[in-house]
Structure 1
């Protein structure tokens, strides 16, 4: 049985429960110091944002990382079905490309945590990659309405090669002009 995302065999069927075991193992390897390093990267990455938006961005993502890692470790639910191995492979490939361009350990920690968390939300939980309430340029936020994740930037980002939007279950928020 594989214990890391890098060890998955995409030529075989991958059940959600098998992927969950791998994610639990990955989550156990993430420590509070790693989350602090990821938070440092967020702080540096957002240094040119307006103060209010920057502080909200850093707080929201640090909290989301911490909460989601804990969720993964504690998750005892049984998930039925398989994941699409081709889609998962493409998803992870995009993230590994971003990760290998990391400039320092803080950024590397950010990418590792983001990979584990976003794989969990996308392929296990089938939830939006970004947490509900995430603010985007223009003051728009990701919302959850009537069972749908409504993203204000989905249509603008879904064809961006480095973006994970094309894998996300959210739909374009039609109340926001695209």
Structure 2
């Protein structure tokens, strides 16, 4: 794919995302877009994550890796199986106001990447399913963070130890995450 084709594809996908007004519509768009990726692409994304994690301390990396794989593979499976079963009607609620901001962040981030923006787009498509369709955190429950804290469910609400601390990271999922800041 030439650089111009990749840019056009990213803009096209983000425009399709922006056209969704309900969780069900978004799930359908995400299903169509994610279905265009192969299992090889999903494995390539896994490989990129593994390379990114190499610089972390071994103990932390060993606790984090399974949660990141859950974030990718379980979300992919949930998206595909939900759409194929036709379970989208129950999701006919309007999208949050943050969704359009999310689409802008994804487009800007993917258009400025030099190294395979298509894989980054896949990551964000999967994240959108968790954040905006399922109303789940971007990182699965149990995802560890430095200091021994992790994403949890307390009294039926998702809580995260870094929710408010990561808002200043330009391409982070945190500003769109339904998790609340934990008190620990």
How many Å separate the matches in 2 of 1:32 and 1:56? Answer: 25
| Shift in alpha-carbon separation, 1:9–1:136, aligned structure 2, 3 A | closer
Partner in structure 2 of residue 95 of structure 1: 106
Counterpart among 91, 98, 104 of residue 115 in structure 2 = 104
Partner in structure 1 of residue 25 of structure 2: 18
Instruction: Give the structure with the higher percent helix.
Output: 2
Counterpart among 90, 93, 97 of residue 81 in structure 1 = 93
User: What is the root-mean-square deviation of aligned Cα atoms in Å?
Assistant: 2.1
3-state DSSP of counterpart to 2:165: helix
Q: How far does residue 36 in structure 1 lie from its aligned partner after superposition?
A: 1.4
Compare relative contact order (CA 8 Å, sep 6+) and give the higher one, 1 or 2.
2
Unaligned 5+ segments in structure 1 are none
Partner in structure 1 of residue 16 of structure 2: 8
For the Cα contact (< 8 Å) 2:70–2:140, is it kept in 1? no
TM-score (norm 1): 0.83
Partner in structure 1 of residue 124 of structure 2: 115
Unaligned 5+ segments in structure 2 are 1-11
